């Protein structure tokens, strides 16, 4: 029951060294595979060049911090990634507080620079299906503008998704970025794509993170993305986080600034529906 010679079953057998006894498609890119020893793994297909390598390196880098749990990587090649399956549970306030504390510890594990890729990870990485370059920098406001906002802003302008007046609002916010970026902080070890869909609430009461776009960044960016796309018991997550690592004064006023990055990524990928949110975030930044 391994499937085709280049399918997920064959990939699981080759990368784990175990025969496959069953398969269950989860989506176009994901398949749940049962191995002959009873273990169940998830096999993910990555079609973009370097995407699998970037994700595997990110998972291992996050796991190396020994904080927030991630699915173990059992093997990968250029096209296929094999990881643990995470049995799903229900979000709970207790798990949320623990997740917040663990996320603070993950960020505190640090990175060599803003934009630093995980060890072994490529410079040309991805956030979701959008290309994302990991170019190291030392000055966060300049790095964030140049490598996390402007590439997607230019893309949206070239596509005609953002109008000239809207573009000007975002450009003015970037010009003032050093004024309202908050106190300087060391590079944090970020998940990088921390929306609710990448936060799995396990049946064992532990949160696990999947599908990272891991890199060195500002810790408030992960928190802003959690708020942008919703997270169960977010207030309890933030309580746990601040117990472990208090946030700098005014962090709540900077949420829109950190949301510019994911909102522009979504504008590029999904169109005008996110353009207005990006402009509103730019208008509100620094107020």
Rounded alpha-carbon distances, angstroms, from residue 122 to 50, 112, 127, 191, 285: 7, 15, 13, 15, 31
Show pLDDT as tens, one digit a residue, over the chain (287 residues): 444 567 999 999 999 999 999 999 999 899 999 999 999 999 999 989 899 999 999 999 999 999 999 999 999 999 999 999 999 999 999 999 999 999 999 999 999 999 999 999 999 999 999 999 999 999 999 999 999 999 999 999 999 999 999 999 999 999 999 999 999 999 999 999 999 999 999 999 999 999 999 999 999 999 999 999 889 999 999 999 999 999 999 999 999 999 999 999 999 999 999 999 999 999 988 56
Which of the four CATH numbers 3.90.1200.10, 3.50.50.60, 3.40.50.300, 2.60.120.260 does domain 93-284 have? 3.90.1200.10
Based on the residue annotation, tell me whether 77 is a catalytic residue of this protein.
no
pTM: 0.95
CATH 3.30.200.20 in the chain is located at 8-84
Active-site annotation holder among 193, 204, 222, 249: 193
CATH 3.90.1200.10 in the chain is located at 93-284
The kind and range of the H/E element at 163 are none
Q: Which fold has domain 8-84?
A: Phosphorylase Kinase; domain 1 (3.30.200)
What does the alpha-carbon distance between residue 204 and residue 191 come to, in Å, rounded to a whole number? 22
Phi, psi angle pair for 33, to nearest 5°: -125, 135
């Amino acid at each position: 029951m391994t499937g085709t010679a280049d399918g997920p079953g064959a990939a699981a057998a080759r990368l784990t060294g175990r025969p496959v006894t069953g398969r269950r498609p989860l989506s176009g890119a994901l398949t749940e595979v049962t191995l002959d020893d009873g273990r169940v793994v998830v096999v993910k297909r990555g079609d973009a060049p370097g995407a699998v390598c970037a994700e595997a390196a990110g998972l291992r880098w996050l796991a190396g911090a020994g904080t927030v749990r991630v699915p173990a990587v059992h093997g990968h090649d250029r096209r296929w990634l094999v990881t643990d399956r995470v049995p799903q549970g229900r979000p709970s306030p207790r798990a949320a507080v623990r997740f917040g504390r663990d996320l603070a510890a993950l960020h505190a594990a640090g990175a060599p620079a803003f934009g630093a890729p995980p060890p072994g990870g490529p410079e040309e990485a991805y956030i979701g299906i959008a290309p994302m370059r990991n170019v190291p920098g030392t000055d966060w406001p300049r790095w964030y503008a140049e490598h996390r906002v402007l590439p997607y802003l230019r893309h949206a302008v070239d596509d005609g998704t953002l109008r000239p007046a809207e573009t000007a609002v975002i450009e003015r916010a970037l010009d003032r970025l050093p004024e309202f970026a908050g106190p300087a902080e060391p590079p944090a070890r970020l998940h990088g794509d921390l929306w609710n869909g990448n936060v799995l609430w396990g049946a064992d009461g532990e949160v696990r993170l999947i599908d990272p776009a891991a890199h060195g960044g500002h810790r408030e960016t992960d928190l802003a993305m959690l708020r942008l796309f919703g997270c169960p018991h977010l207030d309890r997550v933030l309580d746990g986080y601040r117990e472990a690592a208090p946030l700098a004064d005014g962090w709540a006023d900077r949420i829109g600034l950190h949301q510019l990055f994911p909102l522009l990524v979504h504008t590029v990928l999904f169109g005008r529906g996110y353009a207005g949110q990006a402009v509103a975030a730019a208008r509100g930044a620094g107020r």
